[in-house]
A and B are shown apart, each in its own frame.
Chain A
Amino acid sequence: MDFIAWVQQTEVHRWLGESPFWFPYPFIIALHAMGMGVVVGTNVAIDLRILGAARDIPLAPLARFFPVMWVGLGINATTGVGLMITHPELLLNWVMWIKFTCMALALVSLRLLRWKVFRNANLNEGPLPLLSQLLAGASILFWAGAITAGRMTAYIGS
């Protein structure tokens, strides 16, 4: 509670809240949507490949897209902090914490995919083990959960 009150009296909070035009708040929220598209979209595309979609795509070179996801993630971590400074009261919203949890689980899945699937020397030979497919399926569900919870913060929980 005190923390939220403290954020609300900072200069940054005031600056972010008083957007006369497209900057800074709309700009930050637009970047957040773009970063989401990059991280979630790229990750889900890789998940779909692991699950058997577009199965002619060789998996090993897909690892090249991990840095792209890190860039998107960096944009969204930064803009996410900006959005939390603008609306610190969201920290009291339980739906927000569902979003944080889903994101954390999605990112753990992503790390596990990097380690378990993409570090495999025999990557492009034969079908993927069931565990990899379960991980890819879980990843899609976690991102879907994060997006759903993120949108729902505007409607419920506060």
Chain B
Amino acid sequence: MVESFVRWTLSTGVGDFVQSHTWMFPMGETLHFMGLSLLIGTIGMVDLRMLGFAKRLPFAPLHGLVTWGIAGFAINLLTGIMFWFVNPELYALEVGVISAYKLLFIFLAGINLLVFRLTVFQEVMSLGPGDDAPLLAKIIGATSLFLWFGVIWWGRMIMFT
């Protein structure tokens, strides 16, 4: 199944198109690093506030930064798909296990976000300066930090192991 997906990827010619423009792949990598920074910076600040750091910040305004984190994620989703089209054999076969871990961690971060939205979100959004977040929010914040740093870890392991 993975092999046929790799074959399909190669048959689209998207990878060839990207590679015929030499600046495109390096620029995609650069954007991937910028998106990573935007995501980990904004989401990390929100996570830290839930964990009890910088408590003088009211939560809801800080949460406004998440829009920028989502923008970072969108940049990385697009550039990540571009990488896949250029090197499907590398990601799917040569380091398939590591790619799978990275995708799993991204998926789990999504689940974690869903749990946040469905449980303590409203309560946390009403936190004012000095207010402490409930325990579940702290667990969700710590999980988010662990998973997103884990995504960076697996992403780097793809290229360097």
Which of A's residues lie within 8 Å of B, judged by CB? 19, 21-22, 25-26, 29-30, 33-34, 36-38, 40-45, 48-49, 53-54, 56-58, 60-62, 64-65, 68, 143-144, 147-148, 150-152, 154-155
Contacts and interface: CB of A to CB of B under 8 A. Distances in A.
A36 B37 contact: yes
B64 A45 contact: no
Given A26-B157, A41-B38, A41-B41, A54 B56 contact: no
A30 B33 CA distance: 12
B34 interface: yes
Contact of B160 (A29, A38, A53): A29
Interface in B48-73: 48, 53-54, 56-58, 60-62, 64-65, 67-68
Contact of A62 (B37, B44, B57): B57
Main SS class of interface, B: helix
Contacts, number: 119
Interface residues of B, number: 36
Contact of B62 (A36, A54, A68, A144): A54
B132 interface: no
B152 interface: yes
A21 B161 contact: yes
Contacts of A154: 26
Contact of A56 (B61, B67, B155, B157): B61
Contacts of B157: 22, 26, 30
A150 B26 CA distance: 11
Contact of A30 (B38, B61, B129, B153): B153
B61 A54 contact: yes
A151 B33 contact: yes
| Interface class of chain A by DSSP | helix
A48 B57 CA distance: 16
A123 to B, nearest CB: 12
Contact of B45 (A65, A148, A151): A65
B40 to A, nearest CB: 4
Nearest to B61: A56
Contacts of B149: 34
Nearest to B48: A68
Contacts of A45: 41-42, 45, 65, 68
A30 B156 CA distance: 5
Contacts of A143: 37
A33 B41 contact: no
Interface in B120-137: 129
Given A30-B152, A30-B157, 12 more contacts: A30-B160, A36-B36, A37-B37, A37-B152, A41-B36, A41-B37, A42-B41, A44-B38, A45-B41, A53-B65, A58-B57, A64-B54
B89 interface: no
A19 B30 CA distance: 25
